[in-house]
Structure formats: structure tokens, C-alpha cells
Amino acid sequence: MTGTIWLGAVAYDPKVVTIWEGMRSYFRDEAKLDLEVMLFLSYEAQVQALLDARSPRIDIAWNTNLAWLQCEAWSEGRTKPLAMRDTDLGWTTKLITLRGGPVKSVADLRGKTLAIGSRDSGHAAILPVHFLAEQGLTADKDYKTLRFDLDVGKHGDTGTSEVDVLKAVLDGRADVGAVGSPFWSGVVSNKLVPEGAVVDLWTSPAYSHCMFTARVGLETEVTDRFVAALRGMKWDNPKHRPVLEAEGLREWLVADLTGYGSLRAAARGQGFFDKR
């Protein structure tokens, strides 16, 4: 294998630079892979760079679940799923509401207001609307939506829209809010709201989040060595742990495609595969 592996990641937060400096150093110095990182400001631009040879070309992208599924759809299944974090498995969406409020169950949402996050956030917008539709509740027909389209292009990575969803529930602008389970766990563990003031009303079926995606035609030797290098990062290695902690995982896993069905259906139904 010769040449540099160009990897794309989206700079949704300043910490991303530090994370990928650490990853680049590991790949080059320890795994002996010549890897360079290209940072993007949106997943739309990153997906284009992975799929379109006329754009600045990347070989591998660190994608959200929506970006991975768009690559899959627009390449007609020819892009290759590579690896994911252990923490990318078992995500859920939470519906939260004020304790003692008028909404006691999902059925009580009828005629009420649901706060949702950025329109391209799988966990805080796309999937909650999808899961509620499966239960017979159609957005902006059976319930009103209060949308917070913040940081569109980042696919909900920043968490900014979820903060505003929580605020809307707290100040009464919304009866219910939709947030991802990692955000809600952080709210609870860090006691960001008075204890017991906001309750978890409903939990969605589980789904998966981020995925390393290889461009069409990238050599198997390259992808195999890349995945093997990821798998070589160990939690108990003091050189590896700071990078793993910063990226929110303990172990890199080989790609598992079983957790993407619900978002695939939701994204197709809401038009996210319509055009590049």
C-alpha cells in the first residue's frame, strides 16, 4: 500500500481538532499508516467529498448515521461501512416533559406541542417524528412542532438544539421535548435541571449512530489495515485513552449494520435521500 489515506471529519466543536490530532499521531507513529485529516464544516460537504471525484477527494469519512445512510443510498450501496464506536450502539430518543404536567403518555401528545431539534438531527428530529407516526401521531396535524434548526449541517452533533428543546419544556413553550439518550443522560448525571422536575416520558426503540465509511473503490488492503489500526487502540493504554475518552468510547468495533433500519426508513420518508 502506498500513498496517503485522506480521512474526513466534521468540525462541530473545537475539541474535534484535538481529537483528530491525537488520532493522526496514533495512525502515523504507532499504526504506521500515512493518514491525513481534512475537516469539513458540514456533513453535506463531507459526503460530497467521499462520493464525488470532482470534489476535494477523501478516502474515508467519519459520518453520522444520517450521513452514512446518505452515502449508502447515493452510491447504490457501493460505499463500504468500516467501523464504529461501542457507544454508537443502543442509542435511543427520549421524550421528556415536566413532572405533573398534562402529558402522561405518548397518546396525551395529541393537540399539544413537541419541541424537536435541528431538522437534520436523527435523534432529536427525524426519528422522533418517525416513531410517533408509527404510533398514529402525525407531526403538525395531530400535534404541533416547535423546531430549533440550529447548526444545520452538523446533524445534531453539537447538541445545541437539544439544549433549546430542554429550555422550551422548562419554560412551557412546549409540552414535550425530543432529545437523544446521551444528552438526557448528561442532563441527569450533571444535575442540569432540578432533580425530578423533568421526567423521561417515553423511550424509543434502539438505533445506531456514527460510522466510518470508505469511498467506492478504496482497496481492501487499505480498509483492512485502517480497521485493524482502530481495533488496536486500547482503553488500558495510557497513550490511547485520552483520545478514546475525548471521542466518547472505550473500544472501536467492526461495522454492525443492524441498528440503521429505523433511520433509513425515516430518512427516506422525510426526503433526506431525494437529492445530493
Task: Give me the residue spans of the domains in the chain.
Answer: 5-88+208-269, 93-203
- Shortest CA distance to 60 belongs to which of 243, 256, 217, 251? 217
The DSSP output letter for 202 is: E
At 171 the pLDDT is: 96
Closest by CA position to 226, among listed 11, 62, 63: 62
What was the pLDDT predicted at 195?
Answer: 87
Under 8 Å CB-to-CB from 14, ≥6 apart: which residues? none
CATH of 5-88+208-269, one of 3.20.20.190, 3.40.50.620, 3.40.190.10, 1.10.3720.10: 3.40.190.10
Paired residues of 144 in beta bridges: 113
pLDDT score for 1: 52
Is the separation of the CB atoms in 94 and 42 below 8 Å? Answer: no
pLDDT at 54: 84
Supply the CATH classification number for the domain 93-203: 3.40.190.10
pTM of the model: 0.96
Residue 205 · residue 95 · CB < 8 Å: no
Answer yes or no: same fold for 5-88+208-269 and 93-203.
Answer: yes
pLDDT of res. 260: 98
**Parts of the chain with a pLDDT under 50:** none
pLDDT of 276: 65
